[in-house]
Amino acid sequence: MQERLKELQTEALEKISTAADLKELNDIRVSYLGKKGPITEVLKGMGKLSAEERPKMGALANEVRDSIAAGIEQKQKHHEEAAVKQKLAAEKIDVTLPGRPVKTGNHHPLTRIIEEIEDLFIGMGYTVAEGPEVEKDYYNFEALNLPKGHPARDMQDSFYITEEILLRTHTSPVQARTMEKHEGKGPVKIICPGKVYRRDNDDATHSHQFMQIEGLVVDENIRMTDLKGTLEVFAKKMFGDDREIRLRPSFFPFTEPSVEMDISCKICGGKGCSVCKGTGWIEILGAGMVHPNVLEMAGFDSKKYTGFAFGMGPERIAMLKYGVDDIRHFYTNDVRFLKQFSIHE
């Protein structure tokens, strides 16, 4: 019996040493240490042994069992470590490889111009206001001294949704809305950037959808010279001291007196080209002193308060600043055009 146990021990340890994987080890465990295994089988014959030999044989059987179990455990550890090493090797990352370049986007040139203009006016104490693009006829026209049937409504061909609702044709309705919110109390000092829509035919300087930035100042003692000074500061900061500016008398029903401001054309240097339609000048904004009727309709006492307002076209400003010869470039989104304004390359 002793010999048989020793034999089984040698046989099992040999098998353990050559076991190729965890499954094979488990099979060895079941076959040698299981209830139906050869060791249990040998031990069944213990009854035939003398009382003296029995505990010795029992101790030997335990020793054999323990050595086989320890052998399996050791080999199992070895296989597990090898498996981890193999996995780590397979998943190894070469941290020295260069990363994939990330393509960075860019602000659209119009966004850049609008942010630049906003910063300039915020620096002069203005706040930024907003209003709806789908607007009531009342705010787009009536509150701006343009009652129904007024001939000057034709100056801004409109997209109507219903008889009372339209796509705003300018950002001036934000003037009326803001003044109304102030309930007759000044000062008001806002700029309002946003999209506007007109039934204009698209050409080099006209688009049916374009941007405007409205400005409005209402307070006691606001004069035409304040407007002129503000526009001059704006034009010099935006275009540089070398560009020429001119104010022309004009007409808007919501301002009196009214002016339009032109800047000398950058494309032709003032000689005349297709962009400036041969005049050497490009109109960039309309402005004037807020009409007393507009102040009164919005709840301001026109004897106490005066104000100025202006409305400019950022596309025209961007064209002049960057020398762009067609407004449609801003809306066709040709990446070759847009890339020229990249600050990353």
Q: Which residues within the stretch 166-195 sit at the binding site for ligand FA5 (CB under 6 A)? A: 170, 172
Rg of the chain, C-alpha, whole Å: 44
57 or 263: CB nearest ligand FA5? 263
How far is Cα 158 from Cα 205, in angstroms, rounded to an integer?
Answer: 18
Chosen residue from 200, 219, 226, 296 binding ligand FA5 by CB under 6 A: 200
How far is Cα 115 from Cα 106, in angstroms, rounded to an integer?
Answer: 14
- Is 5:42 a contact under the CB 8 Å cutoff? yes
Chosen residue from 8, 313, 324, 330 binding ligand FA5 by CB under 6 A: 313
Of 40-48, 125-133, 283-291, 333-341, the segment contacting ligand FA5 by CB under 6 A is 283-291
5 or 285: CB nearest ligand FA5? 285
Chosen residue from 109, 131, 173, 288 binding ligand FA5 by CB under 6 A: 288
> Per rule CB under 6 A, is residue 262 in the interface with ligand FA5?
no
Q: How far apart, in Å, are the Cα atoms of 179 and each of 1, 123, 132, 143, 226?
A: 111, 22, 15, 11, 19
DSSP 172: T
Q: How far is the CB of 253 from ligand FA5 (least distance, A)?
A: 9
Say whether 255 sits in a helix, a strand or coil: strand
Q: Which residues within the stretch 210-239 sit at the binding site for ligand FA5 (CB under 6 A)? A: 210, 212, 214
The CA dihedral of 122, 125, 126, 128, to the nearest 10 degrees, is: 50
> Per rule CB under 6 A, is residue 291 in the interface with ligand FA5?
no
> Per rule CB under 6 A, is residue 145 in the interface with ligand FA5?
no
Using CB atoms within 10 Å of the CB of residue 67, give its burial: 0 to 12 exposed, 13 to 18 middle, 19+ buried: middle
By CB under 6 A, name the binding residues for ligand FA5: 156, 170, 172, 198, 200, 206-207, 210, 212, 214, 252, 255, 283-288, 309-313, 315-316, 327
